[in-house]
């Protein structure tokens, strides 16, 4: 065999190696969640398990973020394939609300599904004497990370109650777990957390110090309007909470972007609904996930891939 023949053979071998192998293409799926002590993160972990097992060649990762606002901006920048976000944040992102963290409309956002409601949970130390929104005046309150979905909820609720941050004694912009640590150390009177019921941070707090779950009257929800709704935090959700407490809730959504393929969006939607047991085992908040409610109040266009699945199972928009 001549050197030229050997070189030709090697070149042919390299050319064959470079050809794509059917079915071997790797699919990257970055799931954008929230803080590790919230609900988004463990539910994102369940989705990761579902997608890793159900999508051939998928490389799935769960990214902890500052939640709604950051997730939506990352989706717009193609830095994630699916993410969690509060309905009011999705609406403001699509409109382009600079005060909410969206200097321009995010035109790539596409809906996958409504999932479960976030309950606005305002919890105070029993020592603070706080039981109502009015009692927050002059007190120290943590409202979540700056321009997070939780913080947007805090602003909206206080405004609907005729209050603002200026009425508070001190405002802290902290994630859930850090807020709880300050309350344990008597450095903070109350924390506002927008999350599913039974969020780990508040469970931790309620077993560490005596607490009071602050009521948010139904008229606040009425004044806010969609996507806010009046709800109750059921008795015994947290240690020492003997009665139902009225509050407001806002629906969470799974969102993707227009550059995600129809096939991937279809698979992500279908697999989630075919594996609800795995999702619901991740956190009690997901008990309310129901395909019949998937298109409820969707603030952005539904991704065609997700729509294909809803057409197959007969789910229609409201």
CATH superfamily of 118-250: Periplasmic binding protein-like II (3.40.190.10)
Sorting pLDDT into bands at 50, 70 and 90, what band is 14? very low
- Sorted by where each begins, the domain ranges of the chain are 28-116+251-313, 118-250
Q: Tell me, what DSSP letter sits at residue 126?
A: G
Class of domain 28-116+251-313: alpha beta
Q: Is 234's pLDDT higher than 80?
A: yes
DSSP H or E segment with residue 182: helix 176-184
Q: What is the pLDDT of residue 201?
A: 94
Sorting pLDDT into bands at 50, 70 and 90, what band is 21? very low
Q: What is the pLDDT of residue 317?
A: 85
CB 83 within 8 A of CB 75: yes
CB 113 within 8 A of CB 268: no
Q: What's the pTM value of the predicted model, to 2 decimals?
A: 0.80
28-116+251-313 and 118-250 share one fold: yes
CB 120 within 8 A of CB 248: yes
């Amino acid at each position: 065999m001549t050197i030229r023949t050997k070189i030709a053979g090697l070149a042919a071998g390299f050319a064959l190696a470079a050809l794509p192998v059917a079915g071997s293409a790797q699919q990257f799926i970055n799931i954008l969640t929230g803080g590790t002590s919230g609900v988004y993160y463990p539910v994102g972990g369940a989705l990761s398990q579902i997608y890793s097992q159900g999508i051939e060649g998928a490389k799935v990762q769960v990214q902890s973020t500052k939640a709604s606002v950051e997730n939506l901006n990352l989706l717009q920048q193609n830095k994630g394939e699916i993410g969690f976000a509060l309905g009011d944040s999705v609406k403001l992102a699509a409109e382009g609300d600079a005060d909410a963290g969206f200097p321009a409309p995010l035109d790539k956002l596409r809906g996958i599904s409504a999932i479960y409601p976030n309950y606005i949970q305002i919890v105070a130390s029993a020592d603070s004497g706080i039981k109502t929104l009015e009692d927050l005046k002059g007190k120290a309150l943590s409202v979540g990370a700056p321009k997070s979905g939780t913080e947007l909820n805090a602003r909206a609720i206080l405004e609907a109650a005729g209050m603002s941050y200026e009425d508070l004694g001190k405002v802290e912009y902290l994630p859930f777990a850090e807020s709880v640590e300050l309350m344990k150390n008597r450095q903070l009177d109350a924390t506002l957390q927008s999350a599913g019921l039974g969020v780990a941070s508040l469970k931790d707090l309620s077993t560490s110090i005596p607490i009071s779950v602050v009521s948010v009257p139904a008229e606040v929800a009425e004044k806010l309007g969609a996507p806010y709704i009046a709800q109750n935090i059921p008795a015994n959700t947290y240690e020492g909470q003997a009665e139902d407490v009225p509050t407001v809730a806002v629906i969470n959504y799974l969102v993707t972007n227009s550059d995600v393929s129809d096939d991937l969006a279809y698979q992500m939607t279908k697999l989630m609904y075919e594996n609800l047991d795995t999702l619901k085992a991740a956190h009690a908040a997901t008990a309310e996930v129901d395909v019949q409610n998937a298109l409820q109040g969707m603030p952005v266009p539904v991704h065609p891939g997700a729509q294909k699945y809803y057409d197959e199972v007969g789910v229609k928009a409201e």
